[in-house]
Structure 1
Amino acid sequence: MDYDEFLPKLSQNYLEILNDEEYFDITIEVEIFQAILTYIYGGRLSLTKYDTPDILKILIAASELNLQELVIHLQSFLIQIKANWIERNFNLVYQTSFECDSFLDLQQFCRKLIIRQPEKIFNSPDFTSLPEKTLISLVQQDNLQMSEVQVWEHVLKWGIAKNPELSSDPSSYSDDEFNTLKDTIHRCIPFIKFLKFTPKEFLNKAYPYRKILPGELFDNLIAYFLDNDYNPNKRSEPQQVVKSSPKGINSKIITFQHAKLISKWIDRLRTMDELKNLYEFKLIFRGSRDGFSAEKFHKICDNQSRTVTVIKVKDSNEILGGYNPIKWDSRYSYNCYGTTRDSFIFSFVDKSNVRDYVLSRVKNEKQAMNYLPHHGPSFGPDDLVIYGGREHSFNNDHSYCKKMSYEKQIRETEEKFSVEEYEVFQIST
């Protein structure tokens, strides 16, 4: 693709933003905003005239202004043309990729780089300045081309650097100093695969820091390294066991089995594939609890990303739903769509039969998410539309499913239906 030529013209009406009474607190440098205006009014943006750091700033600004078409093209340009620059400035790019949920392509590129060349990240001068969230996302990667004890050493290095009063010699630590280090890295510890240490590595690298390990985990590890036939208590095993154990789900509609299958769909796995990321489903909205109106939904769920919606169809055992990796938004009154290539919708004909389902992934990514303010959680122009409804029920029979922007029709009929209950979950690992 010639990135110097025309980029797709804007699909959103930004005059509507300018006339909106809502105040948008967005700070953008003058030069960067000029680039955005060039794109908005000319449909053209010559990327070769900008330094790569400025292109990254344009990407952030485009996301803040919801210019999803431009976001997609800028990510593609950085990945295909500026890969070497990304490697040299990995920490900056990696942190930026998690500032917005629409930077999924950049996140995926960075994750692949982490797996192939983790030493470039862990040994970089600014490694210890990484935020905790970024460090966790690094250490929880599977298939790192680095030994597990090296990962542990880097986590310790990061934790000690966050507390300059700590020395690199744990034999000199007081109880308070151990507690300080424990408080700093305790969220990383569940992702360290201690069972992959050799006995010598455990003795030299983990045992001196035993006071920062959870008691039950440490006891199990001691028994494991002393007795090869010992089977550790799974509640205290490292991440690879914890991640695949059942997690409770607070739902009136779906079960753990549904959540497990949806987790596979999010990771684009087949039904028979092993699940490595069983996501936590955190309930953030329930119609019968929070109100069924579109206004209530948007008040709670707008700006929330990575959400799964499940819907119980009234007078049936049918379940409908969808996954939205980007944020919900209701600021616009028409032509309101969110752009993503990772959303999908689904249906279960009978909630008791998890094998009888229809999965439909987005086909027209520019109209993936429906942002009309009088709709509840809706996908595509008509693919899955939950109409506004009354405050306490959906007796108006105005919700419907008609195939348009997604691969498949998820219901056998296009007739309108009522919603008995619906829930929205935010997912996390």
Structure 2
Amino acid sequence: MDDNKLLQKLSQNLLEVLSDDDYCDITIEVGDDPYVKIFRAHMVILNYRSTYLRRILSTNKKKNDGTLIQIKLPNILPEIFQIILNYIYGGRLSLEEYDTSDIIKILVSASELSLQELVDYIQSFLTKNKAVWMEQNFNLIYQTSFGKDSFLELQKYCTDLMSNNPNKIFKSLDFSATPENLLVSLIQSDNLQMNEVQVWDNVLKWGFAQNPGFPSDPSNFSKDDFNSLKNTLQQCVPFVRFYNLTSKEFFYNVVPYKKILPKKLYMDLLKTFLDPDSIPNDKPKPRKGANDNLLNQISITTSHYQISKNSFDYDLQKGEVSCAKAYKNPVSIKF
């Protein structure tokens, strides 16, 4: 018989102990009204498996009248505690059997019970097997990971995604529930691999989600609607790089919402997009990935040639695209 089979036998025996009431000496009231369930357990096992429960048990003197000691765990769902209790006794947990949302609940409860070994195991499982789900539900993962000091691996996952692939967060299913401070952090990022008009549209989408009663068409907005949206987005607007929009994008995507912009910003933008000789002093640099987005749109017709993006060398920091291949008279375009 190999070691694994021996451990399986031990695990099975301990689970049988859990289901046997004869030697139970403690009851645990789990959940909050009206969803409460009473579990029977053994002090000696809980004491050595959970430092949190050890602290609670140390304050409860052992009773000599035959009545069971009782403790309460109102912050844990009964069905989640049953899973964790099986782990405490049997030392095994197959996460593949559960929905990811339930795995998150198990993780939070395991942290509350100071089961750090289980916490580390669940975090590793999530990052290796549930990355797509976490991207789609980023707000939940973000709020969960930074709600506990023990979720270091999930915190790193969130930080890395925000730094390297922040555009994925805009596509998450719960984006509209993103906290304002997180949204501001995202739109400040140079690594957003999307056009600036997409950034602006997502900021508006978030603003509308915070004000669900708004008309879908800004031409139907009341003065109060504009004021409410302006107040909602006042921390976000300064970090949208409006100067990187095209004139068409500015006209169709920004002008209808001009009343939510600071007056000076709107007038400066208007001057920039109407006067080709006007160059803003503080034009922000394009975000990562904007180079390809720009070149995909460039098509310049000269008197002899249709010039495609493959014919260009470009330097967006200098605001210049130059034709560098196969032409006797290279063209330089300022933008």
Compute the TM-score of the two structures, normalised by the length of structure 2.
Answer: 0.55
Cross-structure match for 2:223:
175
Q: Would the aligned equivalents of 2:229 and 2:260 in 1 still touch at CA under 8 Å?
A: yes
Given the superposition, is the C-alpha separation of residues 199 and 25 from structure 1 closer, same or farther in structure 2, using an over 3 Å criterion?
farther
Matched, 1:17 2:67: no
Please report how far the alpha carbon of residue 184 of structure 1 lies from its aligned counterpart in structure 2 after TM superposition: 1.9
Q: Write the deviation string for residues 234-282 of structure 1: whole angstroms up to 9, x where unpaired.
A: 9xx89x9xxxxxxxxxxxxxxxxxxxxxxxxxxxxxxxxxxxxxxxxxx
Q: Write the deviation string for residues 350-374 of structure 1: whole angstroms up to 9, x where unpaired.
A: xxxxxxxxxxxxxxxxxxxxxxxxx
Cross-structure match for 1:63:
111
Given the superposition, is the C-alpha separation of residues 97 and 198 from structure 1 closer, same or farther in structure 2, using an over 3 Å criterion?
farther
Aligned residue for 2:212, secondary structure, equals coil
Tell me: higher relative CO, structure 1 or 2? Use CA pairs within 8 A at least 6 residues apart: 1
Cross-structure match for 2:180:
132
Matched, 1:230 2:280: yes
Cross-structure match for 1:157:
205
CA distance in 2, matches of 1:142, 1:17: 48
CA distance in 2, matches of 1:53, 1:219: 47
Q: Would the aligned equivalents of 1:36 and 1:58 in 2 still touch at CA under 8 Å?
A: yes
Q: Write the deviation string for residues 180-214 of structure 1: whole angstroms up to 9, x where unpaired.
A: 11122222223322232233322332232222123
User: Which of 102, 111, 114 is the equivalent residue of 1:54?
Assistant: 102
Given the superposition, is the C-alpha separation of residues 69 and 94 from structure 1 closer, same or farther in structure 2, using an over 3 Å criterion?
same
CA distance in 1, matches of 2:138, 2:58: 39
Given the superposition, is the C-alpha separation of residues 49 and 126 from structure 1 closer, same or farther in structure 2, using an over 3 Å criterion?
closer
Cross-structure match for 1:86:
134
Please report how far the alpha carbon of residue 101 of structure 1 lies from its aligned counterpart in structure 2 after TM superposition: 4.5
Q: Would the aligned equivalents of 1:195 and 1:221 in 2 still touch at CA under 8 Å?
A: yes
Q: Would the aligned equivalents of 1:26 and 1:64 in 2 still touch at CA under 8 Å?
A: no
Given the superposition, is the C-alpha separation of residues 31 and 142 from structure 1 closer, same or farther in structure 2, using an over 3 Å criterion?
farther
Cross-structure match for 1:366:
none
Structure of larger gyration radius: 2
Aligned residue for 1:145, secondary structure, equals coil
Q: Would the aligned equivalents of 2:110 and 2:116 in 1 still touch at CA under 8 Å?
A: yes
Please report how far the alpha carbon of residue 153 of structure 1 lies from its aligned counterpart in structure 2 after TM superposition: 0.5
Q: Would the aligned equivalents of 1:95 and 1:134 in 2 still touch at CA under 8 Å?
A: no
Compute the TM-score of the two structures, normalised by the length of structure 1.
Answer: 0.44
Please report how far the alpha carbon of residue 178 of structure 1 lies from its aligned counterpart in structure 2 after TM superposition: 0.7
Q: Write the deviation string for residues 328-351 of structure 1: whole angstroms up to 9, x where unpaired.
A: xxxxxxxxxxxxxxxxxxxxxxxx
After TM superposition, the structure 1 = structure 2 runs for residues 121-270 of structure 1, keeping only pairs within 5 Å, are 121-123=169-171, 126-225=174-273, 226=275, 227-232=277-282
Partner AA of 2:56 in structure 1:
I
Partner AA of 1:154 in structure 2:
N
Please report how far the alpha carbon of residue 30 of structure 1 lies from its aligned counterpart in structure 2 after TM superposition: 1.6
Please report how far the alpha carbon of residue 20 of structure 1 lies from its aligned counterpart in structure 2 after TM superposition: 5.0
Q: Write the deviation string for residues 139-189 of structure 1: whole angstroms up to 9, x where unpaired.
A: 344312211210110111221233233223223323221101112222222
Please report how far the alpha carbon of residue 66 of structure 1 lies from its aligned counterpart in structure 2 after TM superposition: 4.0
After TM superposition, the structure 1 = structure 2 runs for residues 332-411 of structure 1, keeping only pairs within 5 Å, are none
CA distance in 2, matches of 1:17, 1:78: 30
Partner AA of 1:45 in structure 2:
L
Partner AA of 2:279 in structure 1:
D
Aligned residues: 230
Once the two structures are aligned, what percentage of the paired residues are identical? 53
CA distance in 2, matches of 1:125, 1:49: 23
Q: Would the aligned equivalents of 1:223 and 1:230 in 2 still touch at CA under 8 Å?
A: no
Q: Write the deviation string for residues 50-85 of structure 1: whole angstroms up to 9, x where unpaired.
A: 333221111111233344443232111101122243
Given the superposition, is the C-alpha separation of residues 66 and 210 from structure 1 closer, same or farther in structure 2, using an over 3 Å criterion?
farther
Which sections of structure 2, spanning at least 5 residues, go unmatched?
1-6, 12-47, 61-70, 288-335
CA distance in 2, matches of 1:32, 1:62: 9
Given the superposition, is the C-alpha separation of residues 100 and 133 from structure 1 closer, same or farther in structure 2, using an over 3 Å criterion?
farther
Which sections of structure 1, spanning at least 5 residues, go unmatched?
241-429
CA distance in 1, matches of 2:280, 2:239: 21
RMSD of aligned residue pairs (Cα, Å): 3.9
Please report how far the alpha carbon of residue 28 of structure 1 lies from its aligned counterpart in structure 2 after TM superposition: 0.8
Q: Would the aligned equivalents of 2:176 and 2:210 in 1 still touch at CA under 8 Å?
A: yes
Return the structure number with greater helix share.
2
Please report how far the alpha carbon of residue 125 of structure 1 lies from its aligned counterpart in structure 2 after TM superposition: 5.3
Q: Would the aligned equivalents of 1:224 and 1:231 in 2 still touch at CA under 8 Å?
A: no
Aligned residue for 1:78, secondary structure, equals helix
